[in-house]
Amino acid sequence: MWVVTGGAGFIGSALLWKLNEEGLSNILAVDLLENSEKWKNLRDRRFADYLEADDFKGRLLADQLPKIEGIVHLGACSSTTETDAAFLIENNYEYTKALAQWALAKKARFIYASSAATYGDGRLGYSTDAATTEKLRPLNLYGYSKQLFDLWALRRGVLTKFVGIKFFNVFGPNEYHKGEMRSLVVKAYEQIQQDGKIRLFKSYKPEYRDGEQARDFLYVKDAVHVIYEFMTAKGHGGLYNLGAGLARTWNDLAKAVFSALGKPPLIDYIEMAETLRPQYQYHTQADMGWRKKGKPFMSLEDGVKDYVQNYLSKENPYL
């Protein structure tokens, strides 16, 4: 049995979809549903059982669960604007440590979500090597909570026994519960439906024109395919970037949404809240040199088209 924490979340539920597509359903899904709409991500999925996160952790450490082959740990608070440090340390750092220590003791596979937010402003580049990892300075508490575990595993010499994945800007179906943390694609789709145009942040750096700030966007179907590759390929260990390996601008993304809807682009550039400006990343691009072969990723335009036409425009927009 495999465990997927964050199984009702965005990437977690998409991974359940991928595993079901591969004919796998002996999965323990773990999450914290609370009052969110995440439960809708599970309706069409097949899995052996579901547990709330605290119940799972207690049963796991007490050896009260069936034999577990491995854990894909995607459960975390992913809000880049969260300011409760104690909550993030407990939820993103201490919880991850507990699962990792269990996996080490049981010799089980452990795949966990790190984040591109650990790279901060990007001035040190986007390498996952140990020297760079030690020097990174995240711009927000979320990134720091992820960096803490990367450093914990690195400094104890156990990082090579795990697979840590630094996700860049993943978008796609099943992100609807994330509120302001949803991708621009779904926000843009709603804005176009409401008033026919998209709003993007202005640039506050002279070297970037408005809307030319760039991100490494990856469609969620490609992201979960790579996670599945890690689950099925034994022996991999270490930190890995997961993005398309290509920076594209917010203008590119906006135009892709208009194109998917068959509409001419109309973009307004708006002021960014002053509180966000110091922690805003102007450019990210995953170093994907580690992935020399494998299924090619969808282009930004093709991923947006699939998302808009086959999900957002449908009565049931879920995977």
CB neighbours of residue 183 within 10 Å? 21
Q: Are 113 and 167 in contact (CB under 8 A)?
A: yes
At 296 the three-state DSSP class reads coil
Distance, C-alpha 316 to centroid of its chain: 22
- Write the DSSP symbol of residue 7: T
Smallest CA-to-CA distance from 184 within 209, 146, 215, 225 is with 215
Instruction: Answer yes or no: are the C-beta atoms of 241 and 168 closer than 8 Å.
Output: yes
Catalytic residue among 142, 189, 240, 311: 142
**Distance between CA atoms of residues 153 and 162, nearest Å:** 9
Residue with tokens 């966000």, as numbered in its chain: 276
**Token pair of 184, please?**
């621009």
Q: Please give the DSSP secondary-structure letter assigned to residue 139.
A: S
144 is catalytic: no
Catalytic residue chosen out of the listed positions 40, 57, 161, 178? 178
**Rounded Cα gap, residues 166 and 117, in angstroms:** 8
178 counts as catalytic: yes
DSSP code for 255? H
The two three-digit tokens of residue 287, written as one number: 């170093």
User: Which residue in this structure is represented by tokens 């975390």?
Assistant: 76
Catalytic residues: 142, 178
